[in-house]
Amino acid sequence: MIKRILPFILFVFCAGMCYGQEKPLVAGMKILRTMKIKKAVYQIEAPADTAKPVLFIEGDNITIDFNNAEMNGSNRNKNPEEFSGVAILIRNSKNVTIRNLKARGYKIALLARNVEKLTLDNCDFSYNYRQHLNSTQEKEDVSDWMSYHHNENDEWLRYGAAMYLRGCNFVTIKNCKVTGGQNALMLMECNDGMIYNNDFSFNSGIGIGMYQSNRNSIMYNRVVFNVRGYSYGVYNRGQDSAGMLVYEQSSNNLFYKNNVTHGGDGFFLWAGQTTMDSGKGGCNDNIIMSNDFSYAPTNGIEATFSRNIILSNKIFECDHGIWGGYSYNTTIAENQFRNNRIAIAIEHGQYNNFHHNLFIKDKEAVRLWARPQQPENWGYAKYRNTRSVGYVMSSNSFNDHQLVYNITRTDSLNIFDNTYSKNTVSMYKTDSSVTNLDTLFNQRWSDFFSSSKDIVIPQVDDPMDPFEGYGKLSGKKNILITEWGPYDFRSPIIWNTNPTDTSTTMKFDLIGTNGKWKVKSYKGVENLSAMSGVFPATITAQKIEVGRADIAIELEYTGDKITTPFGERINAGKAYNFSYRKFFQPLNWEVLFYALDTTSHDPIKTGQLFSVYEKKAPFKRDSVDRLEYAWWGGIKANGINYPQFITVATTSAILPKGEYELSVTWDDAVRIFIDDKLIVDEWEPYKFKFDESPNRRIPLIISGKNQFRVEHLELGGFATLNLKMRLIK
């Protein structure tokens, strides 16, 4: 017995000695055993190759306490879209715990592959990669749209992530924080995890994303303001940002008591391409319970082509409270809907039931419908019955709606035992396409809805209240999207509140923490209503020019300590400069559109816009002061639709001398010439593998008169051409 105990004691003693010795971090370090890291700030840039991380961890039964050490992956001269590399890679391991780590300035802060029972505790992965957004307050730029439809080959990594886990079962992620990035936590093929007590807020893409991930419990998390593609009162697009993203055969997950307000979508669930092609599977049997999905520019909850339970959630002030296209056997119960455009909207749904929900002041409460026919090449419709059928709606309370039920092309509805108050316009809007509408009391359904349904909630230690203190930011009016993502209310900002107003008056809100502000300089405006004050404040200014805009207002803040949008901490009392900038130079563009048939002449292959064997006249002409085009399915002119076409835009302009940035978004191909010099050559559309419209930014030195020529091709489908000039200095 003594011989067996002695080696064990020596092992424990040696392990304790190793853990007690604090190790400094160095680039390329491999960690194969338990240790404690020396607390310091480590400036270590990572190679762009994701297979070459700064730190590499592999092994079993390892605990690494980073002791609040901070890894910085980029110098301050880089923008977040330029961040590259991986801070930490963990792979092929079991029982690995990472504690008390800070990592910023990387494309991916932590990448884990095939790690069973990984624990991440009290880590801060804020201020890593995020895209430089091209949309403005005045106009959406479609290049900001993201796509998460495929991830079999880790396609999601192109967007970066604070944490990206693949093949990691029984993971625990708790007490972690991510802000000021694009995507916080992305899970691929991860099952049976526990994710709780985290704060993943104020990011420009996704808070928590899942792909082929099952039986995970997501609880007590604050996942607010994960959003882009929104301008209050101007457009609400979301651009596929979301607080929570659940994709491609992710089933049996629990989402409980999470604060997920102000997301592009609050909760975005889609069955996946497998289901779309085969009609099989889906993101099924997820329980979405006791969360707050309010203030989404688009959908509080989008759950499509799947079967789920949506229970006891708050969904206020969204475009759609729930969008449930093609959902089936789904229960929507005990939720609170308020001030949505449409509370529940479902096309081609089957055998869904809504009961014990509270609806208040939605423009429409329930809209159900089906299209006359499905796309012929759509696999889902070939293998599944897609009619709208089999709804039961009982014991709901409808209050102060313009319209309660808007229903077309739907069969077999049982609507009974609901209460109605102050529904001022109409109860039902139906037509002859609605069949078998039954409003008689149904005892069987009533008993079923009234019976208790036990849902097992896993126990966790010290669950946090993710809703505490966030009522003050209620409302979509508080979503302020800057060029780097959502404003986080941790530093001062000057915000134009009437961006599309064509009058000469500009209105601004000055938002910030306790402190004072003063205007240091301004140009392009005059007659500012105030030059100094305290936060919050509202000021006005008068534009000097109408049409053209070269406006700059520079301000100084002094007051409480703040954290800048890039994570820099400014101590109390120290001056901090912030600004408003707008530049627009109208140009007299002549735009000509020509028919294209790539079966007879393909400009991509030849490099020539037109065949030498034909002469073409334009089928359409435009005269515009800016290039901001988007087309779906071609251009119609004179009763003819042109699915393929050539765009040629030319102008001659005198611009003020200075350093400019030219930004162009296109689909499918574009070339740009200045004074016959080719400066943008994007003539290979097939090199862009994803269903996104690309964007390029080009620095330019411009002086005097210049000739601009833009050549653009559309080969079919969606098309866009958007060109902006920004004066840098």
Res. 269: pLDDT tops 50: yes
pLDDT of residue 425: 67
Cβ atoms of 140 and 104 within 8 Å: the answer is no
For the stretch 436-484, pLDDT in tens is: 999 999 999 999 998 877 899 999 999 999 999 888 899 999 999 999 9
Fold classified for 589-727: Jelly Rolls (2.60.120)
Domain ranges in the chain are: 208-461, 492-584, 589-727
Which of 712, 582, 695, 549 has the alpha carbon at shortest distance from 646? 712
For the stretch 602-611, pLDDT in tens is: 999 999 999 8
84: how many CB neighbours lie within 10 A of its CB? 19
Which value, to the nearest 10 degrees, does the dihedral of the CA atoms of residues 134, 136, 138, 139 take? 20
- Distance, CA of 471 to CA of 473 (rounded, Å): 5
Q: What is the mean pLDDT of the chain?
A: 93
Residue type, 247: Y
Which of 308, 230, 302 has the alpha carbon at shortest distance from 260? 302
For the stretch 111-135, pLDDT in tens is: 999 999 999 999 999 999 999 999 9
pLDDT of residue 294: 98
249-258, 279-288, 301-310, 648-657, range with the lowest pLDDT: 648-657
For the stretch 530-561, pLDDT in tens is: 999 999 999 999 999 888 889 999 999 999 99
Sheet with 525-526, edge to edge strand ranges: 493-496, 505-511, 537-543, 525-526
176-180, 421-425, 455-459 — most confident range: 176-180
Res. 4: pLDDT tops 50: no
390: how many CB neighbours lie within 10 A of its CB? 18
User: Any idea what DSSP says for residue 38?
Assistant: P
pLDDT of residue 173: 98
Which CB contacts under 8 angstroms, 24+ apart, belong to 463-472? 463/196, 463/197, 463/219, 463/220, 463/257, 464/197, 464/220, 464/222, 465/220, 466/199, 466/220, 466/221, 466/222, 466/223, 466/257, 466/258, 466/259, 467/259, 467/292, 470/222, 470/224, 470/259, 470/261
More confident residue, 141 or 374: 141
pLDDT of residue 433: 96
9-18, 263-272, 686-695 — most confident range: 263-272
Give whole-number Cα distances, 470 to 71, 316, 478, in Å.
30, 14, 11
Structure tokens at 30: 């491999």
Torsion angles phi and psi, residue 470, rounded to 5: -100, 5
- Distance, CA of 632 to CA of 643 (rounded, Å): 9
What's CA 219's distance to the chain center, in Å? 20
pLDDT of residue 561: 96
More confident residue, 9 or 249: 249
pTM of this structure = 0.93
Torsion angles phi and psi, residue 158, rounded to 5: -65, -20
Give whole-number Cα distances, 59 to 24, 163, 649, in Å.
20, 19, 60
Which residue has tokens 């690309």?
Answer: 694
Which residue has tokens 């991916």?
Answer: 108
pLDDT of residue 452: 74
50: how many CB neighbours lie within 10 A of its CB? 17
Alpha helical stretches, state H, 288-442: 379-383
Cβ atoms of 666 and 631 within 8 Å: the answer is no
Q: Enumerate helices (H) and strands (E) in the chain, giving the number of each.
A: 5, 61
pLDDT of residue 424: 65
- Distance, CA of 343 to CA of 316 (rounded, Å): 9
Res. 8: pLDDT tops 50: no
pLDDT of residue 705: 86
